[in-house]
Chains A and B, each alone.
Chain A
Amino acid sequence: MSAEAHAHPDAHTGHDDHHHHEESFVSKYIFSMDHKVISRQFLITAVIMATLAMGMSFLFRLQLAWPGEHFAIINFILGDKWGKDGIMAPEMYMALVTIHGTIMVFMVLTAGLSGTFSNLLIPYQVGARDMASGFLNMLSYWFFFLSSVFMLAGFACETGAASGGWTVYPPLSALPQAMDGSKLGMTMWLVSMSLFIVSSLLAGLNYIVTILNLRTKGMSMTRLPLTIWAFFVTAVLGVLSFPVLFSAALLLISDRSLGTSFYLSDIYIGGQALEQTGGSPILYEHLFWFLGHPEVYIILLPALGITSEVISVNARKPIFGYRAMIGSIMAIGFLSFIVWGHHMFITGMNPFLGSVFVFTTLLIAIPSAVKAFNYITTLWKGNIRYTPAMLFAIGLVSTFISGGLTGIILADSALDIPIHDNYFVVAHFHIVMGVSAILGMLAGVYHWYPKLFLRHMNKKLGYIHFWGTFISAYGVFFPMHFLGLAGVPRRYYSNSAFPMFDNLVDINVFITCFAMLAALVQLVFLFNFFYSMFRGPKSEQNPWGANTLEWTTPMAHTHGNWPGKLPTVYRWPYDYSKPGKPQDFCPQTVPLEEGEIDGGGH
């Protein structure tokens, strides 16, 4: 199958870097349809959003560690309305938690992660000149951009941003009488998420079509790097599950504005009995988590894909169990659609149904365990080169294991009863999803920075960044398990209303200190990231000695990626340190020798 014919007309091939069609600044950097530019747009937007969301967590961590204390910085940032005398208003606390969660989950780790790396790597690694549709790809970025703007604009509302938690369960989110955050702020949230879903669908369809149709000659599905496999399954999950969230949002909008009662029944609020009967909030929960659970794998799989690639390249060894890795990605993808009920064990859902979800959820642990073991075995007898990316990838393996293990407790419905919705859950999902995916994303940034910006990031600062981040991530989230085991509910503005929590203040102070350290270390990253863009040392073509196709393109942002013909692929991407080869790597474009078996076969 020759992809060349579809990707770009042949007129493009072989033309010189300097003789582009005269592109204006706007068409080159703003409304660009080039996957490399769009990838950078996603990345920079995500870095900004992540910084804001982290700033929010810093503010509410101050409140949790020292409730009632006066902080000049709170008053400075939140103003007199929300931060009078330096004390955060409870409304503001809820809004910050909600928007922090939403931005991290959707803007940073869904759009930011997939948007950056699927866009950058899919055309490069499958050997295509660009995405199947550059135009839809561009639209996907701009929908995402608008969505981010609307999400932040919630804070500009007189009544504050959405504050019902990132899950925005009705009736709380459906009834403006229920809280100020459910007024205009909630509308902004819904608009933002609707735009986001459009963006994610446009992007996902593009990824799928490109992977299926635009693979270059010789690039069979079983020669795809694991990054591409991960992006592929991620895109399929997104395309199948985001529309369900969209329908949930539409019904919510309808309940909010048109007086319908999909989610509402028998409610007396604000001194008044509402007319609506017959609906059920549980319907919303089902719809939400039908997306919500696959969503955590939409976040995690790309990070795992990046890790597979980074670990293999830097251990100078083939990834262990390539086919088992593909199998587990697919198993995780499939199972993730039939486990959503583990978020609903104590909502009043039929207990028998609960048992079914216990079973399916614990099944997911098997392919996840296989992945973890395979990563560890890949390190065994390697010749590990510690680039900053490699450190982040190893960090991911650690947090993926330690966060995944507590998931086994939460998936056990009986054990979930006393810890559901408390800080044990906050600890669990931050470690397994938040920290792991952030580490994976950073591994990707350090590893592919030369392809993104043609330069290198500073190695030493990268080391500092990794150890600071990794240590403070455990410092922040590990002790949270104990808050949960002490019974502290999540989404509490303050624990001081309960004498039983008085002895937990020191844990909260401890956590906040590490959160501040984490934030400080990210400044090192921000500096390194932006500084290296302009001043970093220029990169040679294949700085890591890697096998995949992106490193066969010149270190320039060439329109159409390869100046000449598209490369032909002869082997799988993991021939590192293969006996009998002159170097410890062997790019996919090197033909097989007489009698050589491909794909790690014997």
Chain B
Amino acid sequence: MIKILVYVAIILAIFAIGYVVRVYELATSLKGKKQHEVTDSDNRMMGKIMLTFLVVFFAFVIWNLESFGPKMLPESASEHGVGLDWLFNFNMTILFFVFTITHIFLFYFAYKYYGRTGNTATYFPHNNKLEMIWTVIPAIVLAVIIIFGLKAWNTITAPASDNAIVIQLYSQQFQWTARYSGTDNKLGDSNYKLITDTNPLGMDDNDNKGDDDIIVKNEFHIPLGKEVEFKLNSRDVIHSAYMPHFRAQMNCVPGMTTMMHFTPRITTQQMRDKLNNQKFDYILLCNKICGVSHYNMQMTIIVDTEIDYKVWLHAQATHKSQVNASAAKPVAAK
């Protein structure tokens, strides 16, 4: 019933607008005015609104910064992320400056030069010097941005050091699995053709590099201050391993292995204390559309002190022991 009323109201509103417009047009045509023609008072009004908009717009931007700014991610939990955040702020400062200057000019001119009958515009078709200036200055600023940016990019994407802890992050619709490379710090071979219900990563049991590998779900731990290298794989479609708190992201592409690495610098507990929120957790999300449950494909990341990390890792079963256990079960049942 309400639905119908709403539709009726909308239709009536449309007719009402039409009616008002018609009346208005008739009235103005009686006055002998062409209503589409822009009058001086229109120009003045629009010019003033332009100026008002400038003020309101900047008030809006500042209000956004104040009320939404604090909701942004907390300080970076990875070492390279600190540099990235600095670079982001550096660039944003430049950009905000350009944004402010250009908008002030744009809307101020829009106000200052609103049309008045009798005024004439200045014939000013070009000026080589001005044009040179505003080609060269952006070029210089961009050169600075590019140099800083590429320096950061090159350090972040340089190969991980040899003693980085190697962890595989394996993605599938719609969950993550982490596989630690164990004492040898080498991941055992795997092949997608070997995937079964009991061997979800398709591990090749003939390769004993995999014996000490440790497979975990739901939550994985990494140690404070140690470099961690992730090897990313996908079982089915493209996913993206996104760890916003660590300023880290890399796609997981079926058929190939991609990599990223970073060094955590704040433990989960430290971050909880900083944020005054004991429920806080670092999260791994999926950031590449991968199907219906893309919006709910997550894994918790725990950053431990090195000792806690070792304790946790020792408590996890190795791949070998799991294989043995499941091989033993049917025998025991008989």
Binding site for B on A (CB under 8 A): 72-73, 76, 90-91, 94, 164-165, 169, 171-172, 175, 178-180, 264-269, 273, 277-282, 315-324, 346-348, 351, 354-355, 358-359, 362-363, 365-366, 369-370, 372-377, 379-387, 391, 394, 397-398, 401-402, 405-406, 408-409, 412-415, 417-418, 420-422, 456-461, 463, 467, 470-471, 474-475, 478-479, 482, 485-487, 489, 491-495, 497-500, 503-504, 507, 523-524, 527, 531, 535-537, 539, 543, 574, 576-579, 584, 599-600
Contact = CB atoms under 8 A, between A and B. Distances in A.
B31 interface: no
Contacts, number: 365
Contact of A384 (B47, B68, B149, B288): B47
Contact of B193 (A273, A414, A418): A273
Given A178-B236, A414-B156, A383 B121 contact: yes
Lowest 4 A-B CB distances belong to which pairs?
Answer: A600-B125, A265-B255, A487-B244, A351-B157
A369 B131 contact: no
A376 B98 CA distance: 13
A536 B35 CA distance: 10
Given A316-B121, A485-B73, A497-B295, A178 B17 contact: no
Given A316-B121, A348-B250, A489-B287, A401 B14 contact: no
B235 A267 contact: yes
Given A415-B88, A537-B34, A324 B153 contact: no
Nearest to A412: B149
B110 A405 contact: no
Interface stretch (B138-146, B207-215, B323-331): B138-146
A370 B240 CA distance: 37
Contact of B114 (A386, A457, A478): A386
Given A90-B293, A321-B131, A172 B238 contact: yes
B195 to A, nearest CB: 5
Interface residues of B, number: 116
Contact of A507 (B46, B71, B236, B296): B71
Nearest to B247: A418
Contacts of A503: 71
Contacts of A394: 50, 106, 110
B36 to A, nearest CB: 4
Nearest to B76: A418
Contacts of A391: 46
A386 B87 contact: no
B255 A90 contact: no
A543 B124 CA distance: 24
A97 to B, nearest CB: 9
A372 B109 CA distance: 14
B36 A537 contact: yes
Contact of A408 (B91, B193, B247, B285): B91
Nearest to A317: B121
B236 A379 contact: no
Contact of A537 (B35, B53, B130, B254): B35
Given A267-B235, A384-B47, A420-B287, A408 B71 contact: no
A265 B255 CA distance: 5
B284 to A, nearest CB: 11
12 contacts: A347-B258, A366-B142, A376-B102, A380-B113, A381-B113, A386-B43, A398-B107, A421-B242, A459-B42, A482-B69, A482-B72, A485-B73
Given A405-B99, A523-B14, A384 B123 contact: no
Contact of B95 (A319, A406, A497): A406
A577 B120 contact: yes
Interface in B175-205: 192-193, 195, 202
Contacts of B334: none
Interface stretch (B21-29, B219-227, B314-322): B21-29
Given A281-B254, A489-B242, A382 B121 contact: yes
Contacts of B294: 94, 491-493
Given A358-B146, A377-B130, A401-B103, A498 B113 contact: no
A384 B114 contact: yes
Nearest to A272: B195
Interface string B29-64: 100001111100011001101100100010011001
Nearest to B98: A405
A383 B103 contact: no
A460 B45 CA distance: 12
A570 B13 CA distance: 51
B105 interface: yes
B108 to A, nearest CB: 9
B64 A346 contact: no
B192 A381 contact: no
Given A178-B237, A418-B248, A316 B120 contact: yes
Contacts of A382: 109, 113, 115, 121-122
B214 to A, nearest CB: 22
Given A358-B146, A383-B115, A497-B295, A348 B110 contact: no
A488 to B, nearest CB: 9
Contacts of B152: 414-415
Contact of A379 (B42, B110, B156, B251): B110
A380 B122 CA distance: 8
Contacts of B289: 94, 164-165, 169, 172, 491
Of the candidates B87, B126, B236, the one having the most CB atoms from chain A within 10 angstroms of its own CB is B126
A221 B102 CA distance: 31
A27 B295 CA distance: 51
B113 A90 contact: no
A415 B87 contact: yes
B92 interface: yes
B160 to A, nearest CB: 13
A276 to B, nearest CB: 9
A265 B18 contact: no
Contacts of B71: 482, 486, 503-504, 507
Given A383-B113, A398-B103, A497-B295, A584 B149 contact: no
A380 B237 contact: no
B287 A348 contact: no
Contacts of B302: none
B255 A413 contact: no
Contact of A398 (B106, B125, B130, B145): B106
A354 B46 contact: no
Contact of B49 (A372, A467, A576): A467
A384 B106 contact: no
A140 B291 CA distance: 34
B146 A362 contact: yes
Given A489-B285, A537-B34, A414 B122 contact: no
Contact of B38 (A72, A385, A413, A578): A385
B61 A458 contact: no
Contacts of A524: 17
Contacts of B35: 458-460, 537
A125 B157 CA distance: 51
Contact of A418 (B21, B81, B279, B291): B81
Contacts of B291: 172, 178-179
Nearest to B94: A408
Contacts of B286: 489
B249 A420 contact: yes
A402 B99 contact: yes
Given A348-B258, A415-B88, A171 B123 contact: no
B3 to A, nearest CB: 6
B292 interface: yes
B153 A478 contact: no
A497 B22 CA distance: 52
Contacts of A398: 103, 106-107
A322 B236 contact: no
